[in-house]
Amino acid sequence: MQTPHLDAVYELEIQAIRTRLARTGARAEQMVRDSVRALLDRDPALARQVMATDRELNRLELELDYECVMLLARRSPVGEDLRLVLTALKADVDMERIGDLAVHVAERAIELASGPGVEALPELVELAERSSEHLERTMRALAEKDSIVAREVIGYDKQLDVLHGDHMRRIIQVAKDHPDQLERVLAWSSVSRHLERISDHACNIAEMVVFLAEGQVVRHGGHQAP
């Protein structure tokens, strides 16, 4: 049986993982929000700021990984604590990839702000705004361990897939009508795909929130694993 002193240290270590997980998620969410704003407001300076922030997100991911592995090795957590560590280990990979995708959106924002031509279609604007909101809800569900919101996020992901498909069909027609705008069309197509992938990673995190809160393993759009 652990002494009260060791129990207190253990609780501090668990709390440190919760705090670092929240911090990593908040940074990834901010990067997406800023990259979308840089894209829609034609703000290259903000886009470069997103790109610079990526190094900090990478550092946070590595530190969170280290803390989780050390806790597993030293403490052998069980129950909800074990689910927290496993959630952190999986979710921080998705967060790091979300950061990478935000950087890609920021790169396209700089490219598209450099000159005139085809601008964002309504479908792309809606996808950008909804993807950012989708991630925000996911991070709130994670912070509050809210499996109800997490399941809503999982179910909503299909709507964003449909919106991405609608945008791709529209932008292909724009390419046919304006062959001189092919480079910008490709850039907008790339942005759409990055935003759709951000939503996919948000869905992955939401699945881990369900696991954390309920102990249920769900995959691929909320289906429960056998």
DSSP, collapsed to helix, strand or coil, labels residue 73 as helix
pLDDT (0 to 100) of residue 219? 77
Provide the pLDDT for residue 224.
Answer: 65
Which structural domains are found in the chain, ordered by start?
Answer: 4-224 (1.20.58.220)
Q: Are 32 and 86 in contact (CB under 8 A)?
A: no
Q: Please, what is the angle between helix 122-144 and helix 4-40, to 10°? A: 170
State which residues of the chain have pLDDT below 70: 1-6, 220-226
**Pair 36, 105: CB distance under 8 Å:** yes
- C-beta atoms surrounding 162 within 10 Å: 10
Q: What are phi and psi of 143, to 5 degrees?
A: -65, -35
Task: Summarize pLDDT for 198-224 with one digit per residue, the tens.
Answer: 999 999 999 999 999 999 998 765 566
The whole-number pLDDT of residue 220 equals 65
* CB hemisphere CA count around 161 (13 angstroms): 11
